[in-house]
Structure 1
């Protein structure tokens, strides 16, 4: 409501022909408590509610408001209603603006949290892999229980020399020799992968919303999502020139060696996924956010609180959208292409789980790191793995 103080201010401004300026582009919120903070916006509001620059002053202080003469200090009912509507509209606009700002701040907080968690717990960030010295992975063949261990380079497996003095080579069975190679390679592949398990667990603990889930849901998400998250992390370590995959310590294995452990089709799909993911040119923060989205998959088997997981994943999706919008402004389809990787990644996870059946069927012949056996639900051998 326009009162005598507002009218007095307006009258003085007109009489003295004062020109005001605003430091906030004329967007100040003017209410009774703060009306003296910005004279420009205060004067602007006077005009907005109907006061006119074309005034007439008499002994009764008459102002001309929208062409109608009224006594000073009073406002026509219609103008007063318009002024109230204007104030309500402005208040709603300000509240909406504050809501948007608060939502963006919350998104930036999520981005920062995930970025810090990813850099702290992923061994395959750009900084950690820069200048990494690569070397062929060395597998160790155990000749017999308790016997000495003989180091064997993976190249020997390609030439077939690894089976020359193995226990199975005396039988002359090529199938048994191949099986022995597979066992040795799987055991040491597990050793190379195991450090990433604890890192993914620590990363998951810092994903917003994850720690609020039940322990059962947390365990399911980590166990069923680990391999997929690991693929996202290690994708940048693929080398399409020599067809190798390099681990955090610089050890690398070849595509042919991976095919011996899995099969040709599965490895081809893994390599294809990694290449296409790398083509999106994601930075470490975006990879971390995407890994968080992969972690929070409510359709995992036996999940209880699907609603809470979906809610947390939606927030991560919004944060990822905001981050990618900033970093890929000229590539609006990058986010959609990334989201299309989720079903492909899920398919790879299911196929990997199928390959683990071989582990479970041959667990008595294997010596795996306890953490690796636990994450993939493989029975553990009583003897400790020697590496």
Structure 2
């Protein structure tokens, strides 16, 4: 290499030009990176802004980040559980936790049993009733929500949280908790649902209230949930994992909620290994359903804005507080968390 060649090489790194490292750094600092074509060296902020400008949903981006992050965290937790032998004390702790959760669930049961749901589904075919949401539905929903809050308050560590954190958790997870208790009542073949409150609706009736997007998604997800064939023990743990997600909203003590959440995940892993030994696919399948449940919640919250559903909300103050998107919800739900005792 000659002297001139060396100077030319040095000049490449000392003279700023478009696309050089120093120029790119300045653009990143000013958040003015050009994002077009196949250019890949732009910063994440500018790529995100470009996506939004082109019409991508902010909610979709958030869901994607959540999905990737959750799957990664759970995969790490699963690998840790493989290499770490659970000692006897931990096993006993998980067993005791599961017994407590099942007892609390039975003290605050769903409003219909799977057997009753099956009977309702079979009876609907002959009745062919044209049903609509009524005051009765609002009252039964209110009763279910109070049972749900009572269950939440019996989860170990829940009552020690600040009331605002308790309210945030029950508000953020109530729909997923409800769906996990209701999915077995969906029947795609008959296109009907026997809800936990004992009411039976045709798919077309549900569309009138909640719209096509939510209705189709809920039927499809119910089919996929049934394919898991989970036991009551596994299901109650999945519900409680949903209840304790620490990333739904701002929390006063996020670490305490995070600790609760991963305790439930560890208990779920232990129970899956005990009930389905050697099945390496079941936990990833459960995680994928947790991600889908979060997506269903987003769809449901949009569906709850329909005019017909707003009429039902007027008859159920507690349900209204659960789906209210305004910031004042925390105080309203907080009062109900206080009023519903965990010892009933």
Q: TM (normalized to structure 2)?
A: 0.62
Residue aligning to 1:197? 145
Aligned-partner Cα distance in 2 for 1:327–1:274: 22
What is the CA–CA distance in structure 2 between the aligned matches of 1:117 and 1:220, rounded to whole Å? Answer: 21
Unaligned runs of 5+ in 1: 1-95, 139-152, 158-183, 380-387
- Equivalent residue, structure 2, for 1:371: 318
Q: Report matched runs for 1:53-132 at 5 Å.
A: 100-123=87-110, 128-131=113-116
The residue that corresponds to 1:247 in the other structure is 195
The superposition leaves residues 37-86 of structure 1 with CA deviations (integer Å, 9 ceiling, x where unpaired) of xxxxxxxxxxxxxxxxxxxxxxxxxxxxxxxxxxxxxxxxxxxxxxxxxx
Instruction: Tell me how far apart the structure 1 counterparts of residues 310 and 114 of structure 2 sit (CA, whole Å).
Output: 35
1:305 to 238, 242, 253: 253
Q: Secondary structure at the match of 2:306?
A: helix
SS of residue matched to 2:200 = strand
Q: In structure 2, do the counterparts of structure 1 residues 137 and 260 end up closer, same or farther at CA, with 3 Å as the change threshold?
A: farther
More strand by percentage: 1
Cα deviation for residue 351 of structure 1 reads: 1.8
Q: Residue 211 of structure 1: CA displacement?
A: 1.4
Query: Corresponding residue for 2:292?
Result: 344
Question: Hey, what's the Cα distance between the residues in 2 that align with 1:353 and 1:221?
Answer: 16
Question: Is residue 2:262 matched to residue 1:276?
Answer: no
| Secondary structure of the corresponding residue to residue 253 of structure 1 | strand
* Partner Cα separation in structure 1 for residue 102 and residue 231 of structure 2: 10
C-alpha distance after superposition, 1:343-386 (max 9, x if no partner) = 211111122122233369956x964123222332389xxxxxxx
Normalising by structure 1, we get a TM-score of 0.56
Structure number with greater Rg is 1
Question: Partners in 1 of 2:183 and 2:91 — Cα distance?
Answer: 30
Alignment partner, residue 286 of structure 1: 234
Q: RMSD between aligned alpha carbons?
A: 3.1
Any gaps of 5 or more consecutive residues in structure 2?
Answer: 1-83, 327-344
Count of residues in correspondence between the two structures: 240
- Say which structure, 1 or 2, has more relative contact order (CA 8 Å, 6+ apart): 2
SS at match of 2:201: strand
Alpha-carbon distance change, 359 to 210 in structure 1, aligned in 2, over 3 angstroms: farther
Q: Tell me by how many angstroms 1:191 deviates.
A: 4.0
Q: Secondary structure, in 3 states, of the residue corresponding to 1:134?
A: helix
Tell me how far apart the structure 1 counterparts of residues 193 and 243 of structure 2 sit (CA, whole Å): 23
> What residue in structure 2 maps to residue 29 of structure 1?
none
Does residue 223 (structure 1) correspond to residue 137 (structure 2)? The answer is no
Partner of 2:120: 134
CA gap of 1:237–1:329, structure 2 versus 1, over 3 A, is: same
Q: Deviations over 1:137-180 (max 9, x none)?
A: 99xxxxxxxxxxxxxx98447xxxxxxxxxxxxxxxxxxxxxxx
What is the deviation of 1:241? 2.4
